[in-house]
């Protein structure tokens, strides 16, 4: 596609449920990043993929969060046993090869845990 | 953990005024980027600076990277309502991800 696509755009889930957030990067981009953002704040780094492997997952807040990118393209961020504090906008970005080339962001998935 | 602090956090000015946003860190970065984000959208890259002391201009926006590559500033001349948005700096190291600053929310009043 022309840009980074994230689905769903909005997700409301009950506390304790499992959710999956999907990111379709720009075709051919090998680097993919997940961030989460609270209202009016800067995005907080979660995980960075180079190809299929997680180059840096130091930003994942705890073991309830996990992300995969099995074929080096689409990525899924998985959150188990969701908590109200997980509510945020989850942003995905991709770049051609590594991070010091321009990163293109999707519109984000707004997750609300009730 | 956010390595970069931006100031001010909020800024509301009249159309035509000038403003400067600051991005500071105790870390040295190999490059620094500035993004602008509108509500409901992802951040959009404005500029990347890589050399200490570097100055880049984008129409009415002037970006400077500090000599020590720890800080940066964004200056907007004659602000317009279309400049309204969340301005984000992001610092990174070659081969790694970028860390975003705390953000500056700018409102330009017509």
Smallest CA–CA distance from B87 into chain A, residue: A42
Chain A residues within 8 A of B107 when measuring between CB atoms:
none
Nearest Cα residue to B27 out of B73, B66, B54, B75 = B66
Predicted local confidence at residue A42, as pLDDT:
92
Nearest Cα residue to B3 out of B63, B88, B86 = B88
Predicted local confidence at residue A1, as pLDDT:
53
pLDDT of residue B103 exceeding 90, the answer is: yes
DSSP string, B41-77: S--EEEEEE-STT-EEEETTEEEEE-TTSSEEEEEES
How many domains, chain B?
1
User: Cα(B66)–Cα(A16) distance, rounded to whole angstroms?
Assistant: 46
The conformational region for residue A40 under phi > 0 = left, psi -120 to 50 = alpha, else beta, is left
The answer to whether the bond into B88 is cis (omega within 30° of 0) is no
* Minimal C-alpha gap between B12 and chain A (Å): 14
Torsion, CA A108, CA A112, CA B1, CA B6, rounded to 10: 60
Q: Which domain holds residue B102?
A: 5-109
User: Cα(A37)–Cα(A87) distance, rounded to whole angstroms?
Assistant: 9
Instruction: Report yes or no: B4 and B103 within 8 Å, Cβ to Cβ.
Output: no
Where are chain A's structural domains? 5-113
pLDDT tens digits, residue range B21-73? 999 999 898 889 999 999 889 999 999 998 999 999 999 999 999 999 999 99
Nearest Cα residue to B40 out of A91, A13, A114 = A91
Give the number of other CB atoms < 10 A from CB of residue A96: 13
Query: Given 3.40.309.10, 1.10.8.190, 2.60.40.10, 3.30.460.10, which CATH number is that of A5-113?
Result: 2.60.40.10
User: Cα(A86)–Cα(A11) distance, rounded to whole angstroms?
Assistant: 12
pLDDT of residue A26 exceeding 90, the answer is: yes
Smallest CA–CA distance from B50 into chain A, residue: A100
Average pLDDT over residues A72-95: 96
For residue B86, the domain's CATH number is 2.60.40.10
Nearest Cα residue to A11 out of A20, A24, A23 = A20
């Amino acid at each position: 596609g022309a840009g980074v696509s994230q689905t769903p755009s909005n997700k409301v889930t009950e506390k304790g449920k499992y959710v999956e957030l999907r990111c379709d990067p720009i075709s051919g981009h090998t680097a993919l990043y997940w961030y989460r953002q609270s209202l009016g704040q800067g995005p907080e780094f979660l995980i960075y993929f180079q190809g299929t492997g997680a180059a840096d997952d130091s930003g994942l807040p705890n073991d309830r969060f996990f992300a995969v990118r099995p074929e080096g393209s689409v990525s899924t961020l998985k959150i188990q046993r969701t908590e109200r504090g997980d509510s945020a906008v989850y942003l995905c970005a991709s770049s051609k090869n590594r991070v010091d080339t321009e990163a293109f962001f999707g519109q984000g998935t707004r997750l609300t845990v009730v | 953990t956010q390595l970069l602090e931006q100031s001010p956090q909020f800024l509301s000015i009249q159309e035509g005024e000038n403003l400067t946003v600051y991005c500071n860190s105790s870390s040295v970065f190999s490059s620094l980027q500035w993004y602008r984000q509108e509500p409901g959208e992802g951040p959009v890259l404005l500029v990347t600076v890589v050399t200490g002391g570097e100055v880049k201009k984008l129409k009415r926006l002037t970006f400077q990277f500090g000599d020590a590559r720890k800080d940066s500033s964004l200056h907007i001349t004659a602000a317009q309502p279309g400049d309204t948005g969340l301005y984000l700096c992001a610092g990174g190291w070659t081969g790694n991800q970028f860390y975003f600053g705390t953000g500056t929310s700018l409102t330009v009043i017509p």
